[in-house]
Structure 1
Amino acid sequence: KPTNFLYIVEDGVSDIKEMYVIDPSLHIPEAYLLPRNFANRDCVSGERKNVYLHTNSGNIDVDLWIVGRKDSKIAPSRMTVHLSSRCGSIAVKINAINSIHPFILKVAAEHGPVTVLIPRWFHGTVTCLRNCDISKEVVKHSTHLGVAINMVRLFVGDFSVVSGSGFGSELTKWEPDELRADMGQGFGTIKYVDEVESVASRQDKVESVVSKENKVRLK
């Protein structure tokens, strides 16, 4: 079932391997959530992250489905996802349900490899720290912003939104996606999800689950 403000920390050798449906609009009473300072140790402002996953020695392998609201006339604020591991590997797939919902994804692995699969609708900056391989397909749809020691930055998607005639009052209503991947001493790979596998069949199953859940909430 859809959830929000998901917080999982494995301090031992346990892995986090699961598919999660995240609904940023899902209200969960504060009393049912972990204390803010405990659940957001790297967040100075105290704002809760929609997803926070961390392992010490275990691996993270997650499939995240983000629920949008295609009938909503209000521009959604960006959801935040934090994935980190000290010694394990990280693999994450991002997909959307119903409509595009902007997100900030921060991935950090000190020693293990990192694989990030982004959706075709990703529209924003990609920043890679240290060793990283960005697929030719992602690069083809990108504007290079800079290369420095151990860092590469690209804008994936239509850059006219933030340059030239695209810059203006409309920009304040639009929040771009953001991916920041820190590979530490490991190696990273960034690709589109459909470069690896077809998501159509799984999307039908996930959308069915979300649809049933929404009907229950409306009763």
Structure 2
Amino acid sequence: MTITAKDGPSTSDSKAPFNSSAEIEQTDGSPAQAPPSYAETLGNSTSGPGTGAPPAGLAIPEVPLPTPLPRATNYHAEKTNREIKGVYVLDTAMQIPPAILANMSSGFFGLGKKEPENLNLYTSYGPIEADLILVSGEQQKRVTVLLETGGGKVDFKLLSRINAQPVKVKAKSGYGNMTVYLPRDFNGPLKYKSGWGTVTFSEGMRPFVHQFSGNMGYLGDWNVAGFSDYKTWNGDELEVVTQGGNITFKWADELMQREAGSPEEKFHEAITYAMQSVMSWFGGRK
């Protein structure tokens, strides 16, 4: 099932880039200085608290977004037993007719909740590959994302957002690998659990992660963000769970450096694909 809004601004011609800080160099040609700390970077931002914008005098390369972009919506849901793959543009400022919103809240989309997730993707066996772009820039409105597959892998990318609009993501797989790409202005708690696999942070992200245990950490600076407890927290939040796969966290701009997987990763992908095929065969029997 797919639900999209019929009205709203078109983003089909959008070519807005998002900033990354994979490579930072002096604009005047002088020797590069040691990079500032995470807190210093946030503190020197000219785009508001918690945005992670670069300090004055530093140039950050731009990475173009995929084009053409689909039309923006406030809510989107899919439920299938096949692969789910797409680019999703969410505008939380968009007004949805009450009758449509009520129908979504009572059905699969909302699962009886008062307000449904902005993005809800579910597949019984297939993989999920979702690229997310946030365009409203509402700092007080947190975007909620729910991704779930019975056995496939999950590849989630938060490519771009305006004014560091907060996002809460929950991703779950039975035995697939999980890869999450986050923007450099992400600032919030992490929960991660892999029953048989490993949890890995990219080399570029590792200096900004506080790991408190094997399944809990924080990406960024909680003093800058003002995080104290989950009940009152309305900022960035991420939870990733898989029973048999590996979990990997990377910066979104590291997509440009993406390389083919190791032999071990390819072997795991082959096993996962075989298990998906078996599950699909049994699921299709009458």
TM-score band by shorter chain is 0.7 to 0.9
For CA contacts below 8 A with separation 6 or more, give which structure has more relative contact order: 1
Partners of 1:137 and 1:30 lie apart in 2 by 44
Amino acid at match of 2:206: V
Amino acid at match of 2:177: P
Contact 2:188 2:227 (C-alpha < 8 Å) held by counterparts: no
Alpha-carbon distance, 1:103 to partner: 0.6
1:55 matched residue in structure 2: 123
Partners of 1:183 and 1:55 lie apart in 2 by 15
1:9 matched residue in structure 2: 79
**TM-score when scaled to structure 1?**
0.74
**TM-score when scaled to structure 2?**
0.57
- Which is richer in strand? 1
The equivalent position to 2:246 in structure 1, one of 164, 183, 187, is 187
Structure 2: stretches of 5+ with no match in the other structure: 1-70, 258-286
Contact 2:148 2:173 (C-alpha < 8 Å) held by counterparts: yes
Q: Quick check: which has more Rg, 1 or 2?
A: 2
2:95 matched residue in structure 1: 27
Q: What does 1:11-160 align with in structure 2 at a 5 Å threshold? A: 12=81, 14-33=82-101, 34-38=103-107, 39-41=109-111, 45-69=113-137, 75-130=139-194, 131-144=198-211, 146-147=212-213, 151-160=214-223
Alpha-carbon distance, 1:31 to partner: 2.2
Structure 1: stretches of 5+ with no match in the other structure: 199-219
Extract structure 1 runs of 4+ deviating beyond 6 A: none
Alignment root-mean-square deviation, CA: 2.2
Amino acid at match of 1:35: M
Contact 1:68 1:96 (C-alpha < 8 Å) held by counterparts: no
Contact 2:105 2:113 (C-alpha < 8 Å) held by counterparts: no
Contact 1:132 1:183 (C-alpha < 8 Å) held by counterparts: no
Alpha-carbon distance, 1:37 to partner: 3.2
- Percentage of pairs with the same residue: 28
